[in-house]
Amino acid sequence: MTVIPEPDSVMDITAPAVPEAETSLRRFISDFTDNKVAVSALVVFLAILFVAVFCPLISPQDPYDLAVIDIMDSRLPPGSESMSGMQFWLGTDDQGRDMVSAIFYGLRTSLAVGATSGFIALCMGASIGLIAAYFGGRVDAVIMRVVDLQLSFPAILVALILLAILGKGVDKIIVALIAVQWAYYARIARGSALVERSKEYIEAAHCLALSNRRIVFRHLLPNVMPPLIVVATVQVAHAILLEATLSFLGIGLPVTKPSLGLLISTGFEYMMSGKYWISFFPGIALLITVVSINLVGDQLRDVLNPRLQK
């Protein structure tokens, strides 16, 4: 008969079944930085963010200060000089604005609108999703019906409907962008929360008679954050594109606010005569911004997706 050996002598030299687990944050960072492209995208995005925040300080000209721009400078190609000796690296638009400055300010508006609407939509959507998941039953069914309904309509149509009813203005654009985004957050939050809700630590919290609100916000929320963050990157990118599209069509931001979409639309008229730069460069700026956000979001999603892990 086999004799059961002394536990100590065996346990010490038993090789562990898996290597030492690193802290999840460190592993997350190392997984993320595996993809060099995503890291460069992150750097680019941070640069753009910097430009957006500090543009009054770093742009060559304030393109919305009427005293500074001169109609005589208008429609100059890239590399030209103004009467006052200022270099127009990317040319000027039809009002004589320096394209570089116009693009900087436009980026600022785009990012501000995108981030604001994204943030508010996230808070709103996540709260609604969490409430739906937490209370379940009828509440959940009703909320999810509304979410599904909203999601079945294309973003641009929803924005069109709202803007057609509400009219023009920065605040109205932000409302439209929030309306377009909140449902995604709600659905993701609810999905994750449902998974978490069935886990034991929530039952344990219940047993400790913690208030509903505390459970939802202190316990469910931190576990629901990762997928929300992934969705947020994509959504903000979409919001930025949508705002630019609406501004291009003339139903977005008012003419007085700097906007990349508006620049591109202005430049459209001049394309036939070969003055491509008014449309081209703002488009490139928009493209770089959105691509970098998407690349970062992509990598985040791959890193956080359990199904692709081998």
Partner 1 sequence: MSVFIIRRSMQAALVVVVMSLIVFFGVNVIGNPVDILINPEFDHEEMERAIKALGLDLPLWQQYLVFVKNAFQGNFGESFVYGEPTLKLIVQRMPATLELAFCSLLMSIFLGIPLGLWAGLKPESPVSKTIMSGSILGFSLPTFWVGIMMIMIFAVELGILPSTGRGATVRVLGIDMSFLTLDGFKHLLMPAVNLGFLNLSLVIRLSCAGTREVILQDYIKFARAKGVSPRRVVLVHVLKNILIPVITVIGLQLGNLIAFSVVTETIFSWPGMGKLIIDSILLLDRPVKVAYLLITATMFVTINLVVDILYSVLDPRVRLQDIKA
Partner 2 sequence: MKNGSTLIVEDLKTHFFTKMGIVKAVDGVTFAVNRGEVLGLVGESGCGKAGTGFSILGLGDPPGRVVNGRILFKGEDIVGLPEQEMHRFRGRRIAMIFQDPMMTLNPVLRIDTQMIEAITAHEKISRQEALKRCREALVRIGISAPDERLKAYPHQFSGGMRQRVSIAIALLHKPDLIIADEPTTALDVTIQGQILYEVQKLCRKTATSLIWITHDLTVIAGLADRICVMYAGRIVESGDVDSILDRPLHPYTRGLIGSVPSHSKRGEELTQIPGMAPSLLNLQGGCTFRPRCPRAVDACLKMPEITSPFEGREVRCFHPHLDESI
Instruction: Check binding of 208 to partner 2 (CB under 8 A).
Output: no
Instruction: Check binding of 1 to partner 2 (CB under 8 A).
Output: yes
CB of 58 or CB of 271, closer to partner 1: 271
Q: Which stretch binds partner 1 (CB under 8 A): 25-33, 46-54, 220-228, 289-297?
A: 289-297
Minimum separation from the CB atom of position 74 to partner 1 (A): 20
Please give the helix or strand (H or E) that residue 37 lies within, else none. helix 36-58
- Among partner 1, partner 2, none, the one that 15 touches (CB under a kind-dependent 5 to 8 A) is partner 2
Minimum separation from the CB atom of position 31 to partner 1 (A): 17
CB of 16 or CB of 167, closer to partner 2: 16
Q: Which stretch binds partner 2 (CB under 8 A): 10-18, 121-129, 175-183, 245-253?
A: 10-18
> Site for partner 1 (CB under 8 A): which residue of 202, 295, 300, 303?
295
First to last CA, the chain: 41
Q: How many CB atoms lie within 10 A of CB 37?
A: 11
Q: Which stretch binds partner 1 (CB under 8 A): 21-29, 93-101, 223-231, 239-247?
A: 239-247
Q: Which stretch binds partner 1 (CB under 8 A): 17-25, 26-34, 177-185, 246-254?
A: 246-254
Distances in Å between the Cα of 279 and the Cα atoms of 29, 61, 86, 156, 268 are 38, 19, 21, 22, 6
- Binding-residue total with partner 1 (CB under 8 A): 42
177's tokens: 């962008």
Distance, in Å, from the CA atom of 167 to the CA atom of 35, rounded to the nearest integer, reads 44
Are the beta carbons of 80 and 277 closer than 8 angstroms?
A: no
Q: Spell out the alpha helix ranges (H) of 167-306.
A: 170-197, 200-207, 212-214, 221-249, 260-271, 277-304
Distances in Å between the Cα of 139 and the Cα atoms of 130, 146, 184, 190 are 11, 11, 18, 12
Are the beta carbons of 262 and 244 closer than 8 angstroms?
A: no
Report which residue type is found at 59: S
Distance, in Å, from the CA atom of 276 to the CA atom of 123, rounded to the nearest integer, reads 41
- Among partner 1, partner 2, none, the one that 67 touches (CB under a kind-dependent 5 to 8 A) is none
219's tokens: 């316990």
- Among partner 1, partner 2, none, the one that 10 touches (CB under a kind-dependent 5 to 8 A) is partner 2
Q: Which stretch binds partner 2 (CB under 8 A): 2-10, 63-71, 123-131, 265-273?
A: 2-10
Near partner 1 in 51-110, by CB under 8 A: none
- Give, as one character, the DSSP assignment of residue 92: B
Instruction: Check binding of 287 to partner 1 (CB under 8 A).
Output: yes
CB of 157 or CB of 195, closer to partner 1: 157
Instruction: Check binding of 18 to partner 2 (CB under 8 A).
Output: yes
Instruction: Check binding of 11 to partner 2 (CB under 8 A).
Output: yes
- Contacts with partner 2, residue ranges (CB under 8 A): 1-5, 7, 10-11, 13-19, 310
